[in-house]
Structure 1
Amino acid sequence: MKLAARGLVAVVTAAVVGVVPGVAFAGSDRGALQEKLDGVTATSAVGAVAEVRDGHRVWRGGSGVAVRETSQPVPIRGQFRVGSVTKTFVATVVLQLVAEGKLRLDDSVEHWLPGVVPNGQNISVRELLNHTSGLFDYRLTLPRPGSPEFLDLRWRTLTPAELMAPALAHKPDFEPGKGYSYSNTNYLLVGEIIKKVTGHSYSDEVERRLIRPLGLSGTTMPRTSPWIRGAHMHGYLPTDAGIIDYTDMNPTLFGAGGDMISTASDLNRFFDALLGGHLLPARLLKEMKKPGIEESTYGLGLSWHDTSCHIPVYGNDGDALSYQAYSYSTEDTRKQITVAVTPNFINNPDAAVDAVINQAICN
């Protein structure tokens, strides 16, 4: 039986929005989590925030500073750019449209965007979502981050067509469906397909279907606005002239593949609703968890990996240049963690963040 997405949203409002964890972690658990989070800022970040949920227990922590060369504390409930975690929201909208019978995963790109993509008749919506299209990543055609040419783009409104043109003119990485290669071009196209199917932008649909029904009050689709309106850590970017504050920038550079702003609490709430079966019919949530190719750990906008205790976690992570975000949950949503950092560009924060994730999930 096909359950319409609007019905699912009603379930979400009743089952998720009213749930407020009210039990704090024990002192030893808080101490261990804080120690791991401090390890992130000791090695690889200016600031870091995290929220961990274990059943009805919740821990929120911060480390480092909100602004370089100050003692300003990080806002633990603050906002940050989530980068590619945006893709999971956008993919969820697509799958809700599939549930409503408005498009199919096996529809061709050519069907919805005629004449836009070379060989588009042989690339499916599914292959865009799971990065098996072979299309070249437009971000590899941009000027080097931090270069004067890149900084010239900071305040510009860039259209999907403008961003995609060099990538679509580039030779594909492989024939559609014959490999896996992470490409942000795929999600620019997905955003355009959502607009063609619904008559509304992907931002409008994410807000209408996910942000408002779930009560994600700290989550915004910024469109062309360069500002983070709520309390937030500042983000930075190394340039030819040194490290600069790069908090404010026109997010059309990221588009449907990475422009969202959110909070740790909101991302945990979203993944609880998604993996808990409140946003999609079971058959489509199952599709979301299928890898694009056998050895891949990326499905339809959803990724997964193993932890040190061999408990798999599902979610996504994102790089928004001056911010990096990681949001993962056990499949049963019993345990969840979201971490956001502002990198210091001395070391990659991934290993230190993995230690926080392992502490949260395995202990």
Structure 2
Amino acid sequence: MSNPLDRAALDAAVENVHRAGVPGIFAEVRDGDEVWRGAAGVADVATGRPVTAGLRHRVGSVTKAFTAAAVLRQAERGRIDLDAPVGRHLPELVPGERGDAITVRMLLNHTSGLAEYLPYAYPSLKAWPVVAETGPESLDDHRLTRFDPVDLTGMGVAAPAVGTPGGTPGVYSNTNYLLLAQLLERVTGTTAEQCITRDVIERAGLRDTGFPSGPEIEGPHARLYEAWFGMIDPPRDYSVYDMSWVGPSASLVSTVTDLNRFFGALLAGEIIAPSSLAQMRRTVPVVSQEGRIIDYGLGLHPAEHSGRHAFWGHGGTVWGGGTLSMTRADGRRRMSVAVNLQRWNRLDPFGRPQPHPIDDALAALYHVAMDG
């Protein structure tokens, strides 16, 4: 059983996130047929335009759940074998022994050992994940850069490996999901974006979700403010940005309502078969981009509640924007939250992100949203 939605507590929680320092936050929480939507703060700090719960938003790596579901759909059709070597389909992208050793499943759950390409595409981030030795210059340099996904995956494949294929803990890497996008193209004869749109977005009945056609977010949206650990002060607007740097790994635009609808449909077995969903929920330990060990399935991440994996979903960030969408295993309770500020934590003398009131305020919101 769920606790009923505490609307006053949810209203107060989103307001507290704004007061803690986020320019704008908007969210939707569902419990069965009961729906709460809330927003606090501004979509544009220059004009004071307020945020509303219906805004479109770059959802970052939440995209991976969509891409993984599309791969599982192709597996159900017999076009992809999750335990087949990726070199069977993409020998020119992952050649030789690595192509024979890395399976499709290892790409999905980040146990391929392939490195993150981002520090190679963005030179000022070359010290990542040692954030104290990075800088935000490349973010501006690449605002309108049109990256070739084959070039990006090549950077990740050519970089020193971060693990052995199938070894755990795995290491979270966008290289894996750009390769999955190439795999979808190879087996369907369409672009990965077209495949994901047809097999996942439209199947879930999502009305405000899609891949960007250019650097601007289409429809009503908030500006996205990036602080890069205090190195950009005041935070800079990156809402106009060419998203080819992440493609079907993290470029999707959606709304909090659509995300709740998607994860509800996914966990109800309406997008992929129950047997495929069971595979998506089979987790392994993975080192996140923040350096923490997390449980990770096939494009799904569990949130522990009362000592067990009660909620499933994904989080995501882009330059200036963050999203978290979690749905209880039975699909009844759903939460999606979007903020228009990222990397607000400044660094301590050892280069580690310092605690910030925003962290506590968001944690409190998630607690109210998921626990009631």
Alignment TM class, shorter chain as reference: 0.7 to 0.9
Task: Select which of 348, 357, 362 maps to 2:366.
Answer: 357
Check if 1:196 corresponds to 2:186. yes
Check if 1:266 corresponds to 2:245. no
Deviates more, 1:92-101 or 1:350-359: 350-359
Query: Equivalents in 2 of 1:139, 1:230: separation in Å?
Result: 28
Query: Equivalents in 1 of 2:88, 2:362: separation in Å?
Result: 41
Q: Which residue of structure 1 lines up, in the alignment, with residue 240 of structure 2?
A: 248
Distance 1:44 1:300, change over 3 A: farther
Check if 1:230 corresponds to 2:230. no
Superposed counterparts of 1:175-214, under 5 Å: 175-179=164-168, 180-214=170-204
Aligned alpha-carbon RMSD (Å): 2.0
The SS at the match of 1:316 is: strand
Superposed counterparts of 1:1-363, under 5 Å: 29-118=6-95, 119-141=98-120, 142-144=122-124, 147-179=136-168, 180-223=170-213, 225-238=214-227, 242=233, 243-293=235-285, 296-307=294-305, 312-343=310-341, 345-347=343-345, 349-363=358-372
Question: When the two structures are superposed, what TM-score results if normalisation uses the length of structure 1?
Answer: 0.87
- What's the CA shift for 1:107? 1.4
Matched AA of 2:317: D
Distance 1:200 1:350, change over 3 A: farther
Q: Deviations over 1:251-303 (max 9, x none)?
A: 10111210000000000000010001111111111000001349851100000
Query: Equivalents in 1 of 2:208, 2:273: separation in Å?
Result: 26
Q: Deviations over 1:219-278 (max 9, x none)?
A: 11114x111111111101237674321101001011121000000000000001000111
Matched AA of 2:227: P
Identity, % of aligned positions: 36
Matched AA of 1:144: S
Contact 2:93 2:154 in 1 (8 A): no
For structure 1, the residue ranges without an aligned partner over 5 or more in a row are 1-24
Contact 1:127 1:292 in 2 (8 A): no
- What's the CA shift for 1:340? 0.3
Distance 1:100 1:266, change over 3 A: same
Q: Deviations over 1:320-341 (max 9, x none)?
A: 1211000001000110000000
Query: Equivalents in 2 of 1:38, 1:143: separation in Å?
Result: 37
Query: Equivalents in 1 of 2:159, 2:74: separation in Å?
Result: 30
Matched AA of 2:117: Y
Number of residues of Structure 1 aligned to a counterpart in Structure 2: 336
Query: Equivalents in 1 of 2:28, 2:248: separation in Å?
Result: 25
Q: Deviations over 1:162-204 (max 9, x none)?
A: 2222222111011101121000000010000000000011100
Query: Equivalents in 1 of 2:307, 2:23: separation in Å?
Result: 29
Contact 2:203 2:271 in 1 (8 A): no
- What's the CA shift for 1:353? 2.4
Contact 1:137 1:183 in 2 (8 A): yes
The SS at the match of 1:45 is: coil
Contact 1:288 1:300 in 2 (8 A): yes
Deviates more, 1:307-316 or 1:269-278: 307-316
The SS at the match of 1:328 is: strand
